[in-house]
Amino acid sequence: MENWDEVWRRNQFVVAELARRHPETKILFVGLSRDFSHGLRTGNFGALAEGAPEAVPGLPNIQFTRPPKLFPNTLAAGRRMNDALARRHIRRTAAAMGMTNPILWLNPHSAVHMAGRMGERCVIYDITDDWISSTQQPWLRELTRSQDEALCRKADAVIVCSEHLYKIKRNLTTNLHLIPNGVDAAHYASVLEDGPLPATAQTWRKPVLGYTGTIHPERVDVDLIEALARSFPGGTVALVGPNMLPEAAAERLNACGNIVFTGPVAYAEIPDYMRAFDVCITPHQMTPFTESLNPIKLWEYLAAGKPIVATDVAGFRDYPDLVKIARDAESFMQAVRAALAEDGALAPARRAIATEHSWESRVDNIEEVIARCLQRYDHADKKGESGCTAPREEANAQSDV
């Protein structure tokens, strides 16, 4: 559901760890489609050039590619043609890399059309959000539901990142695994140390109340952020990450005068920005959608060791001794004031918890799931059966991979 770029999310952490462990293994990372109709409408013709797959810097066994998308997905016929184009592009790219019988790891529910049709040994469906409960038109919600349910049933294994997702998916698959997000705790070891700040952060007025991650309208509570800025007019509310808010909401927050949108920040630079924070905040909405999340920022905030204030959302509420939890604007302001008065005594406990939730341990669990799926495939292959629960097309062994 994203391209490979400097803003890392679950997919990049997992794939990078797998690539480092298995340098001889070839990995094809498929990003967002190149939308030709959107490019033509906006005049962004450069984005339409196909180009060769790109090697990921520092991880030469990962190739990144983007399939073409020619037709609007609002029409069923357009979706079918786009799906066929994507399968063809991925098969050809994989064949050029010398890949045969790959493991097919799917993150988007809309990729259900690939299951059983890519010459794969097994299908893993990794679910990170309950997209069915997100705000969308009724027809799109039903499409999302049908794609998600079909992929849960077709996949050899389904992985979810939160307890909420585990509960709502357990009746859709017989092979379900809860593997939360994690953290590279060492990456945040410098946050509490003295060091240079990014140029932008040097002008932030204290106290700095900082948020890291995508500023997404389905996640953040715009009313709460505005109230926070007005309650601390002499300070700064720093929103560090891609801004996906509607223009009207962003303008409303900018009007406060002490809210900063940094835009996308490379993963390597996040600790430097967090060094400027006085309190790490998570002003999330409390909705079924946010309940489905296991925020990576939870583990990153804990690894940083700084005071944390969050609304009463999944993940954060599990650590009431280390995170101050608030259910409304008034209690959130009180929690921030209490966090500002902390003396640093909780930093070691926060960091200790973070080390117990490493990406290495998460990938250990993921590899166990994959290994069991491959064992079933090998057993079925010896009996002349398909290893994947999805029906497969007749495949050309040389090109249909």
Got the DSSP string for 43-64? Answer: T-GGGG---PPEEETTEEEEEE
Q: Do 10-182+360-382 and 185-355 agree at the fold level?
A: yes
Instruction: Provide the angle, in degrees to the nearest 10, between the axes of the packed helices 347-355 and 296-304.
Output: 130
Could you tell me the pLDDT band of residue 378, with boundaries at 50, 70 and 90? confident
Rounded CA gap, 37 and 42, in Å?
Answer: 9
pLDDT tens-digit map of 106-150: 999 999 999 999 999 999 999 999 999 999 999 999 999 999 999
pLDDT above 80 for 401:
no
Question: Hey, which residues does 349 pair with through a beta bridge?
Answer: none
Residue 224's pLDDT is what? 98
pTM over 0.85: yes
CA dihedral 218, 219, 225, 228 (to 10 degrees): 150
Q: What is the mean pLDDT of the chain?
A: 92
Residue 96's pLDDT is what? 95
pLDDT above 60 for 324:
yes
The position carrying tokens 């399968």 is 87
Q: Which amino acid is at 243?
A: N
Q: Find, among 217, 211, 361, 218, the residue nearest to 298 by Cα.
A: 211
CATH T-level fold of 10-182+360-382 = Rossmann fold (3.40.50)
pLDDT above 60 for 397:
no
Residue 66's pLDDT is what? 95
Rounded CA gap, 377 and 8, in Å?
Answer: 32
Could you tell me the pLDDT band of residue 45, with boundaries at 50, 70 and 90? low
Between strands 59-65 and 54-56, the pairing is: antiparallel
Domain 185-355, CATH homologous superfamily name and number: Glycogen Phosphorylase B; (3.40.50.2000)
Count Cα atoms within 13 angstroms, Cβ side, for 305. Answer: 21
Write down the domain spans for the chain. Answer: 10-182+360-382, 185-355
Contact, 18 vs 47, CB < 8 A?
no
Question: Hey, which residues does 55 pair with through a beta bridge?
Answer: 63
pLDDT tens-digit map of 178-191: 999 999 999 999 99
Instruction: Provide the angle, in degrees to the nearest 10, between the axes of the packed helices 10-21 and 359-382.
Output: 70
pLDDT tens-digit map of 8-37: 999 999 999 999 999 999 999 999 999 887
Distance of CA 344 to the CA centre of its chain: 30
